[in-house]
Structure 1
């Protein structure tokens, strides 16, 4: 990426040294503990990764209605939406494709094996306890899909007082949720439920239907766990979401369903060793209709098993090793040549804490029934000069397995497709001084064997399209951010510079729908029983097509929020979304919501 040093570096230095804030969604007093980056608990600094943690407190403070709204504007994150609430939403993490981000719910991989991505729009925000976003490759620990990074969503768990929330607002939007748990560390149960409905907006411009395309969703979760004696513990989980989504075109409505079921058994015989076994299954299902007549069906069931062992070799030295198994099965009205496949994997990770110096190495071998064997690895190092300055560097390889659509779509079967492969390198620095935190990351990702669908006519079908491993991408980027408190005032800012290029042809082009610049700014200020906040999100121009001929203009949106604490248990919140009524598109021809106002009442005992 050709950065102009006279412009970018002074801007970076100014941001790092200024009293602004990076939206890490965490309290500055305590370093958050992260599980996703290393499959074991580590503080954010110890992970040697670029990490964002979004807590339940932040989720409620922002008053958003979707996971994509929570992630919007965070470093390296760009989002594309097909026309408003509940519509298909794509996450481009560090400029990689939507299918290059692994999504986990409570440790369970979710998503469609046909489309290759997860349905973030169908995950209920009110059932979420926290989110961990890890940027950079993690295939050496998780296997396929973790090229750009990993998003892990944790649902509510453990004994908690009953909490209730009711919301309503523009576009006939209503939401209600309740959650609570009881018990003790030896035996506990948590129950949560939520319902959401909106009349939505007209999803597509200049479309004959011209009506509002609504969305509704009902969700529930159950989590329980406890101990059996001193050395054995367990937890069980179940999440169910079902909804109705309206669209323009054909099909023009869908019944959607997301399920996650799992159980984990953990054995800890002493302070130096623990072993855990997890069994789980996820479901991603849709039934699609045109004018209420059946059109198509696509279901993905992923059965998963994992055995992980954490061994403390000596003080400051830890080994994490285990086995993963995954069985994908699709049930579809479309007759695929094959509808099942298995993946077996073994992984190992070494973590070393040598005082100011930290090291991490990881390796994984995947054996897939369809494409054979694949090896990935990563290495990272960090050095802490003082709390005000920590340096880190990392390198990792990753891959994305072809989807069933890529391999076996009727009429375009391509069973010899190979996985998409990547190599990523990153250097970063971070520091803390009082209530001021900052960090900067520079990275490069090269992806080859990218699968692209292109015209492949035959005499029998002159309009035939088919996939092939013909594309390549080179993505360079710079992420900057900081956070600061001035008394009760909390400020936050982040900026991402990106150079996402398709380098498969003779003339490189920008990758579809990726912007070169994006930024976010937040400020929150309490005044006694009141608190006020605002969020500004800005995204630069993009192109809607690979040839870079259809331009999507840059945009900025402003959200305003306020909260009033009636007493220790009751709060009233209000939020104005897109307060300046900015009109913009993230996909050519698809609308985004204009100004909207929402009110929420929360009951939550302390």
Structure 2
């Protein structure tokens, strides 16, 4: 998706607390790669669970992330347009995305970010958003944080849904599952098609989108202490795209299409001997992920990109004493890309270790370090420390300091099409980040009110960006993003719940004194959920997105209202519907790319 039109692009809360921020007794996994009570986690984590995903009627992961604190979503127009997530002002390439533990960032994308546009929520049961540099456990590309996505395990033997509505949209999916928690098999298939709108703002030619996806997941108990798990995912999509045709070379309607196939496979062998926290004492994982993109304009190929990543890692959880534990492991990775004839590959390896201690009751400290080695760059060492204290009932204090690292992608180093010159002198990005927060819970183990405030700051040296004037990738001397996240979840009554979140982000290029692109200074969300009758659920949400710097012009602030309703006909059947952008707000995520106006959709869910 490069050509001239995309060269121009280079320059150019379900709130976390809405039933999503895990309460005391809730479990988070991403912070230490082991199950941990939320109150004992020093990291800033948002959890969006299956109940919330269903209630909000999100279609894609990008829709769910858009409502989360500290996350900015940029999508090139309507459904199927390239969609990226930016955590706390970081670029999409500085945000690591995992599905069932498999890294799915696109090696063939310009900066290695993951395209969220095709990731349907049909088989997703949980999303953890881990904010701040997470280099020691997740390695390169986790400067802004980690989005860890978990697919469904065992559940209803058969469930399905179908929905349709505005812009000629039809969507459906089905899941079949057998087994229990220790041994199960689950298969899911889903699809969507829509006529869409013109991706070019104000354009007349609609750019449609269609996608078909399937996933498999299985787990088996091999013996008393051994278990094995395997997953597989596949998606095939086609999206109409617009570009920058001559002679004006400005964003306008074109007849070009983009075909994308995504694959990922993983196998995990676990050993658990029952000591320590419920979970793993050791896990060996082999994983493979690949993407294949082809652009065509009236039958002629205009761009092609293939990328794949093969990884192997082992992580061990070793109790050292009653209040101490060691988490450590090793990783190896091979990455390959073939972008319009540029065929390159690289290898990397890492060792990491984390010590977790509880020197006092309800005080948890973690400290760790990681060493990464690269075949095409000097190695890097990163470190991190964090603390969580819940010594006063109903209060949690947490703080962390961490480093991050991102090596230039093979695309950034070697791509030489459309006048872009390779830049072998690119330096790796290095980051340091801090955050500190306070959390208040009222109501004991089942709080009716949860409030959280977090201050954060991340500084990056040698951030890599596309420079339009020089038509290539170059290092920015220093960038800085800092701000505050505030999240509130209030159960007003058994049938009424209100949630709100606000994020202030001040993200700048310190050398130039300019704002970083596509990061709103102000972003807020408010959600009201009401269940007036056992079979009826109503919900309304408002997103307030502030002005964003972008190229060639800034994106104006906007307010978007979404309405939802669901009516359970019986234990097995449910009717539901939603109105997206109910006020028909005219807004843009990416400068020049139009977003849909008001849209109404209705559907039916079945569980057998």
Q: Would you call these one fold, judging by a TM-score over 0.5?
A: yes
What is the aligned partner in structure 1 of residue 91 from structure 2? Answer: 97
What is the aligned partner in structure 2 of residue 8 from structure 1? Answer: none
Give the conservation status (yes or no) of the 8 Å contact 1:90–1:98: yes
Matched, 1:584 2:587: yes
Shift of 1:43: 1.9
Using a 3 Å threshold, how does the CA distance of structure 1 residues 171 and 30 change in structure 2: closer, same or farther?
A: farther
What is the aligned partner in structure 1 of residue 152 from structure 2? Answer: 156
Give the conservation status (yes or no) of the 8 Å contact 2:39–2:390: no
**1:539 corresponds to which of 541, 545, 554:** 545
**1:331 corresponds to which of 330, 338, 354:** 338
Give the conservation status (yes or no) of the 8 Å contact 2:41–2:387: no
Report the Cα distance in structure 1 between the residues aligned to 2:522 and 2:123, rounded to whole angstroms.
32
**1:438 corresponds to which of 436, 451, 454:** 451
Report the Cα distance in structure 1 between the residues aligned to 2:145 and 2:545, rounded to whole angstroms.
21
Shift of 1:201: 1.0
Matched, 1:604 2:607: yes
Give the conservation status (yes or no) of the 8 Å contact 1:164–1:178: yes
Give the conservation status (yes or no) of the 8 Å contact 1:442–1:479: yes
User: TM-score, length-normalised on structure 1?
Assistant: 0.91
What is the aligned partner in structure 2 of residue 139 from structure 1? Answer: 135
**2:303 corresponds to which of 261, 279, 296:** 296
Report the Cα distance in structure 1 between the residues aligned to 2:89 and 2:477, rounded to whole angstroms.
15
What is the aligned partner in structure 1 of residue 597 from structure 2? Answer: 594
Report the Cα distance in structure 2 between the residues aligned to 1:82 and 1:21, rounded to whole angstroms.
23
Task: Give secondary structure in 2 for the equivalent of 1:158.
Answer: coil
What is the aligned partner in structure 2 of residue 509 from structure 1? Answer: 514
Using a 3 Å threshold, how does the CA distance of structure 1 residues 200 and 32 change in structure 2: closer, same or farther?
A: farther
What is the aligned partner in structure 1 of residue 183 from structure 2? Answer: 187
Give the conservation status (yes or no) of the 8 Å contact 1:383–1:391: yes
Task: Give secondary structure in 2 for the equivalent of 1:59.
Answer: helix
Using a 3 Å threshold, how does the CA distance of structure 1 residues 232 and 22 change in structure 2: closer, same or farther?
A: closer
Give the 5 Å matches for 1:499-578: 499-505=506-512, 508-528=513-533, 529-545=535-551, 550-578=553-581
Matched, 1:64 2:71: no
Q: Deviations over 1:221-267 (max 9, x none)?
A: 11111111201101011011111111112682011111110000011
Q: Structure 1: 5+ residue runs without aligned partners?
A: 1-19, 457-463
Report the Cα distance in structure 2 between the residues aligned to 1:84 and 1:72, rounded to whole angstroms.
14
Report the Cα distance in structure 1 between the residues aligned to 2:272 and 2:46, rounded to whole angstroms.
29
Matched, 1:259 2:259: no
Shift of 1:527: 1.6
Matched, 1:55 2:53: no
Shift of 1:21: 7.8
Across the aligned residues of Structure 1 and Structure 2, the Cα RMSD in angstroms comes to 1.8
Report the Cα distance in structure 2 between the residues aligned to 1:186 and 1:296, rounded to whole angstroms.
45
Q: Deviations over 1:263-291 (max 9, x none)?
A: 00011245258221000101122111112
Report the Cα distance in structure 2 between the residues aligned to 1:206 and 1:561, rounded to whole angstroms.
28
Using a 3 Å threshold, how does the CA distance of structure 1 residues 501 and 598 change in structure 2: closer, same or farther?
A: same
Using a 3 Å threshold, how does the CA distance of structure 1 residues 480 and 27 change in structure 2: closer, same or farther?
A: closer
Task: Give secondary structure in 1 for the equivalent of 2:498.
Answer: strand
Report the Cα distance in structure 1 between the residues aligned to 2:538 and 2:305, rounded to whole angstroms.
44
Q: Deviations over 1:482-540 (max 9, x none)?
A: 101122211100000111111122xx111112211000000100021211100100111
Task: Give secondary structure in 1 for the equivalent of 2:520.
Answer: coil
Give the 5 Å matches for 1:332-481: 332=339, 334-336=340-342, 339-353=344-358, 354-410=360-416, 412-434=421-443, 435-454=448-467, 465-481=471-487
Give the conservation status (yes or no) of the 8 Å contact 2:336–2:345: yes
Give the conservation status (yes or no) of the 8 Å contact 2:19–2:489: no
Give the conservation status (yes or no) of the 8 Å contact 1:156–1:192: no
What is the aligned partner in structure 1 of residue 249 from structure 2? Answer: none
Report the Cα distance in structure 2 between the residues aligned to 1:489 and 1:327, rounded to whole angstroms.
50
User: TM-score, length-normalised on structure 2?
Assistant: 0.91
Report the Cα distance in structure 2 between the residues aligned to 1:575 and 1:455, rounded to whole angstroms.
41
Shift of 1:33: 1.3
Q: Deviations over 1:406-463 (max 9, x none)?
A: 101125122232211111011111121111111110011111101133367xxxxxxx
Give the conservation status (yes or no) of the 8 Å contact 2:21–2:47: no
Matched, 1:310 2:317: yes
Task: Give secondary structure in 2 for the equivalent of 1:125.
Answer: coil
What is the aligned partner in structure 2 of residue 13 from structure 1? Answer: none
What is the aligned partner in structure 1 of residue 105 from structure 2? Answer: 111
Report the Cα distance in structure 2 between the residues aligned to 1:384 and 1:311, rounded to whole angstroms.
24
Shift of 1:186: 4.9
Give the conservation status (yes or no) of the 8 Å contact 1:67–1:120: yes
